[in-house]
């Protein structure tokens, strides 16, 4: 592998499986095309973590309340090329911590939230380009 791509997502009763499944598909494509190894930091019950085990994807269990420790754990990993965040519960501070480690891609699918990431994706059909501030150092994919 030529490097690592980190995924931070959630799955469970409150957040469903959509974020996880989207990230798994993205991880598989990135691994196949770019030869990057995916590592997940995920907040999910054990029965959902089995999905990652079956697919032989490396993961670390994280918790909503421990964003700082999650960022510190991510920081210890070498050769990170990208951090992909697909979670409704991460905050601005966590994204700033991730920006200090690597390039960041944030996936949002509901509401407009301003995060200082390098690439922002929001595939909600009701989002308009004018809903987001145009930032010099961010690519908006809306």
Residue-averaged pLDDT of the chain: 88
Percentage with pLDDT > 70 across the chain = 93
Residue 64, pLDDT score: 59
Q: What is the pLDDT of residues 47-61, one digit of tens each?
A: 999 999 999 999 999
pLDDT at 1 over 70: no
Distance, CA of 15 to CA of 80 (rounded, Å): 26
Residues 89-108 have a mean pLDDT of 90
Angle (nearest 5°) at CA 2 between 66 and 38: 35
CB distance 39 to 71 below 8 Å: no
Torsion angle defined by CA atoms of residues 65, 6, 103 and 116, in that order, rounded to the nearest 10 degrees: -30
């Amino acid at each position: 592998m030529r490097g690592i791509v980190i995924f931070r997502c959630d799955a469970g009763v409150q957040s469903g499986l959509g974020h996880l499944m989207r990230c798994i598909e993205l991880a598989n494509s990135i691994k196949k095309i770019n030869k990057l190894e995916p590592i997940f930091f995920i907040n999910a019950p054990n029965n959902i973590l089995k999905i990652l085990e079956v697919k032989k994807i490396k993961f670390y269990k994280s918790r909503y309340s421990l964003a700082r420790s999650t960022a510190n754990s991510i920081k210890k990993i070498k050769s990170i090329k990208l951090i992909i965040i697909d979670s409704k519960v991460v905050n601005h501070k966590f994204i700033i911590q991730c920006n200090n480690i690597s390039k960041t891609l944030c996936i949002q699918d509901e509401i407009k939230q301003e995060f200082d990431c390098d690439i922002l994706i929001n595939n909600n059909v009701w989002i308009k380009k004018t809903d987001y501030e145009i930032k010099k150092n961010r690519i908006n994919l809306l």
